[in-house]
Structure 1
Amino acid sequence: MRWWNPLNWAGRKSPQASYAGDPISEERAIELIAGGLGLPTLSGVVVNQRTAMRVSAVYRCVSLIAGTIASLPCEVFRREADGRASLALGHPAFALLHDEPNPLMTANAFWKNFLWASLMGGNGYGLIGRTRLGAPAAIWWVSPDGVSPRLSPDKTRLQYLIRLENGQTRLFDQDDVIHYPFIGWDGRQGRSPLECAREAIGLSFAGQEFNERFFAQGSAADIALEYPQSLSQEQAKRILEIWENNRTGLGKMRLPLIAEGGGKVHRLDFSADDSQLMESRLFQVEDVCRFFGVPPHLVGHTTKTTSWGAGIEEQTLGFVKFTLRDIIKGVEQEINRKVLRTPGHFCEFNLNALLRADSKGRAEYYRAALGGNQIPGFMTVNEVRALENLPPIMDGEKLYVPLTAETKEGEETRQHAA
């Protein structure tokens, strides 16, 4: 099968003109105008993707959401005439979404990069390569820095000006670009969460930097030196040099201090706790988690009890329901309308592995699903075995129906026949 790589356009003429410039998003342009430093905050810290990733809460929130969704298998289903859904293993997009979107990436790597870009920059992009018949043949990850979305001249469709590997840029129709905006959709592109959370991230970064300087300088200035006579400028400078050479740095902060010339050492009542630094840092972890919709306990913040549930299973279920499901649904809908485009086919990220309970919990669930004791079942034996990656068995497709229901159905059939 022959197909083309849209990132290295060759042998085809575009109906649109090529551009020699480098398209960038509006937010990226603002960062470049500001010297590439990012967005200023009241704390004095300039927040961009590089500085934000140095805040552990931000890094963990982004890696947790992107990594968790990327670990789920993305499968293509076919809707049968009776309403049931079955795996469409023969669909040309199944292997792309489930195993290898393009020769350079596994599905896990692609979705992780795609979602990472969306969570950090506000937009995730994937460029669809097709066969000459229009079937999807590859999906290429595209850096958001090289994409500029715009409305078509008639204002009815989106077009994407994308920088190609050969250095030129080309205009693509919306049908050939997977685009997931994380928040703040304005009809063209999403907003970066960093823009919304920059004050919280800036304060977290400032607190982290304060701690670094706190230890680098041998803790806070909690010691005062008293001398019986006034010191000259040279004497004071010499004492400060001795302090810096012998007391600053984590390895020197506990070394003894020698007070010359009759000096006395006084300890001041000051600490990081007294300035509420620790409380502020803990609060900022929770604040960052709120922006990304991640329960604090999932980023290692366990100072408070959670209302999401007592066990890991309940906590994971809450995270899936209130955070991941919204993102997954948006990505699925974008895939359905641009990659699949065939009636009766749709894709889903399989959440069964993520919601998989322990052996005891699964046994109880399957027991209820199979039915019994005059309680109707809603799963067959083979459906249960498939969830456990076990082969089907003979007579395993029959759904359990209570005897009373079977008897009633038989009576109604006989009455109708009479």
Structure 2
Amino acid sequence: MDNETKPGLLARLRAALLNRATVPTKHPEKSRVHVASRTISGIHVNPDNILTSSVAWACCRFISESIAMMPWRAFRELPGGGAEIDKRHPVDQILYIRPNPELSTFQLKETLIHQALRWGNSFCEIERDTVGRPFALHLLHPDRVQVLRDDNGVLFYRVSNGIGGTVDLDAMDVLHIRGFGDDVVGYSVAEYAAQSIGWAMAASLFGASFFGNGANVALIVKNKTALSPEALAFQRSEFDQLYKGVNKSHRTAHVDNDTDVESVGTSPADSQMVEANRFLVDEVSRWFGVPPHIANELSRSTFSNIEHQSIEAVQRCLAPWVARLECEADYKLFGINPRGYYSRLDMEETLRGDFKTRAEGFKIYREMGVISADEIRDRIDMNPIGGIEGSMRTMNSTYAPLERIAGGTAQAAAPVPAQATA
């Protein structure tokens, strides 16, 4: 087996800690900010209800679903260079086929990422067979997990099993995806971005109240003579029934004698709702590292630059999360001595351009002799040609060695026959 046995691994970890000059934090902090019950806007923000913000939902969905679509495979380095997918390795079965009977690989990656985005951390229990090889991954909700250290400073995870109490898992038996943070834990965006997200949620509620509860009429009634409480109540009830609500707004009010009618008007633009919502898309998107156009804020996007913005989103937003998944999986699933094994998420599908751009790229690779016709057909999900015709790699015949060009000729020189010796 490639993985080191658990007792031997724990002994090495404890020995390494004894040689340290510093002492690790006993209980790693998950936050360094004050968590208020309510934000200044009056909205309570937590990792669950931030998804009621359309911008936070769009950001979490974009990152988690984009990464969930990437195939996650186990690779084995070849002796002569390069690597190939090892379909028989148990890690490849977990990451590409099925992590456990109840969960697909898409759901595993999607949940790991969106939990890490909201709570700052996501966890999976690594279930191993009798010889220590991983054969299943089980999601653990972040609310169930405490990140702790024992008296020797060795990291472990305490998991709540509800009425079953708690269970302690060794660090090597937990796949822990950390977001941006300190030490061994990540920071929750819901806590650090509470004021910004609370502002966005409050603006959304204000907009709903503006139309749902506001009596938006084009005219206002002023009574010249005082009305009795009963008459005033009747007038208000009739007014609300006829004119309150978005589908009854901007009607003409018909009133009795001895009243003045005054024109009034308030629009969402006058209340700066449109501008505020546009700003809040930028504000919330920044916390997730997502370009605003992903959340449909397209005021600064054009037809010519939207594709490049999307590629930049992959490189600067998705790539760090891909690296987090790969690094953690390589260490926890293959062990300290992986013996040439590693995992990789294929980002090609998210980086590819339109059909014409992709076809031109394949053409360049084919003319360089990098790939064959069957390899191109495999990338575009077509059946192989087969035989030498499909596997042959070709190159443009005009290519010539640099030494020959430097010598003043680009033509292939005829071979010089060997001279006979006496």
Q: TM-score, normalised by structure 1?
A: 0.81
Q: Does 1:264 align with 2:260?
A: yes
Equivalent AA in structure 1 for residue 213 of structure 2:
Q
Q: 1:331 pairs with 316, 325, 328, which one?
A: 325
SS of equivalent residue, structure 1 residue 109: helix
Greater mean alpha carbon deviation, residues 60-69 or residues 190-199: 190-199
Given that 1:151 and 1:188 are in contact with CA atoms closer than 8 Å, whether structure 2 keeps it comes out as: no
SS of equivalent residue, structure 2 residue 247: coil
Q: Does 1:141 align with 2:139?
A: yes
Q: 1:281 pairs with 264, 277, 284, which one?
A: 277
Partner of 1:388: 380
- 1-side partners of 2:120 and 2:142: how far apart? 9
Name structure 1 gaps, 5 residues minimum. 1-24, 32-37
Given that 1:47 and 1:202 are in contact with CA atoms closer than 8 Å, whether structure 2 keeps it comes out as: yes
Partner of 1:67: 65
Deviations 1:187-209 (A, max 9, x none): 23211111222122111111111
Given that 2:124 and 2:176 are in contact with CA atoms closer than 8 Å, whether structure 1 keeps it comes out as: yes
Given that 2:216 and 2:249 are in contact with CA atoms closer than 8 Å, whether structure 1 keeps it comes out as: no
Deviations 1:255-294 (A, max 9, x none): 5433234212212243321221211111101211121122
CA pair 257-269 structure 1, distance change in 2 beyond 3 A: closer
Q: Does 1:248 align with 2:244?
A: yes
Q: Does 1:378 align with 2:376?
A: no
Given that 2:99 and 2:137 are in contact with CA atoms closer than 8 Å, whether structure 1 keeps it comes out as: yes
Partner of 2:4: none
CA pair 305-354 structure 1, distance change in 2 beyond 3 A: closer
Greater mean alpha carbon deviation, residues 169-178 or residues 382-391: 382-391
Deviations 1:279-323 (A, max 9, x none): 1111101211121122222222223326xx825542321111010
Q: TM-score, normalised by structure 2?
A: 0.80
Partner of 1:43: 41
SS of equivalent residue, structure 2 residue 136: strand
Partner of 2:191: 195
- 2-side partners of 1:414 and 1:83: how far apart? 35
Q: 2:167 pairs with 155, 167, 170, which one?
A: 170
Deviations 1:112-150 (A, max 9, x none): 111121111111111100000111110011111111111
Q: Following TM superposition, by how much is the alpha carbon of 1:382 offset from its aligned partner in structure 2, in angstroms?
A: 4.3
SS of equivalent residue, structure 1 residue 119: helix
Deviations 1:140-165 (A, max 9, x none): 1111111111123222x321001237
CA RMSD of aligned residues (A): 3.2
Q: 2:155 pairs with 155, 158, 167, which one?
A: 158
Given that 1:313 and 1:355 are in contact with CA atoms closer than 8 Å, whether structure 2 keeps it comes out as: no
Q: Following TM superposition, by how much is the alpha carbon of 1:39 offset from its aligned partner in structure 2, in angstroms?
A: 4.4
Deviations 1:206-233 (A, max 9, x none): 1111111111124558743222234555
Task: Give 1 or 2 for the bigger CA radius of gyration.
Answer: 2
- 1-side partners of 2:310 and 2:179: how far apart? 21
Partner of 1:209: 205
Partner of 2:299: 303
Partner of 1:352: 348
Greater mean alpha carbon deviation, residues 337-346 or residues 327-336: 337-346
CA pair 39-190 structure 1, distance change in 2 beyond 3 A: farther
SS of equivalent residue, structure 2 residue 81: coil
Given that 1:218 and 1:252 are in contact with CA atoms closer than 8 Å, whether structure 2 keeps it comes out as: no
SS of equivalent residue, structure 1 residue 128: strand
Partner of 1:317: 311
Equivalent AA in structure 2 for residue 321 of structure 1:
Q
Equivalent AA in structure 2 for residue 387 of structure 1:
R
- 2-side partners of 1:245 and 1:269: how far apart? 19
- 2-side partners of 1:134 and 1:217: how far apart? 62
SS of equivalent residue, structure 2 residue 137: strand
CA pair 60-274 structure 1, distance change in 2 beyond 3 A: same
Partner of 2:101: 103
Given that 2:216 and 2:243 are in contact with CA atoms closer than 8 Å, whether structure 1 keeps it comes out as: no
Q: Does 1:293 align with 2:262?
A: no
- 2-side partners of 1:104 and 1:165: how far apart? 20
State the identity as a percent: 25
Equivalent AA in structure 2 for residue 243 of structure 1:
F
Partner of 1:179: 176
Name structure 2 gaps, 5 residues minimum. 1-28, 405-411, 418-422
Equivalent AA in structure 2 for residue 391 of structure 1:
P
SS of equivalent residue, structure 1 residue 148: strand
Deviations 1:363-390 (A, max 9, x none): 210111122xxxx443344443432344
SS of equivalent residue, structure 1 residue 272: coil
Greater mean alpha carbon deviation, residues 138-147 or residues 297-306: 297-306
Q: 1:361 pairs with 357, 363, 369, which one?
A: 357
Given that 1:183 and 1:193 are in contact with CA atoms closer than 8 Å, whether structure 2 keeps it comes out as: no
- 1-side partners of 2:94 and 2:39: how far apart? 42
Q: Following TM superposition, by how much is the alpha carbon of 1:345 offset from its aligned partner in structure 2, in angstroms?
A: 0.7
Partner of 2:407: none
Alignment coverage as a number of residue pairs: 378
Given that 1:222 and 1:271 are in contact with CA atoms closer than 8 Å, whether structure 2 keeps it comes out as: no
Partner of 2:114: 116
- 2-side partners of 1:382 and 1:297: how far apart? 37
Q: 1:340 pairs with 305, 327, 334, which one?
A: 334
SS of equivalent residue, structure 1 residue 53: helix
Equivalent AA in structure 1 for residue 155 of structure 2:
L
- 2-side partners of 1:143 and 1:414: how far apart? 74
Q: Following TM superposition, by how much is the alpha carbon of 1:169 offset from its aligned partner in structure 2, in angstroms?
A: 1.3
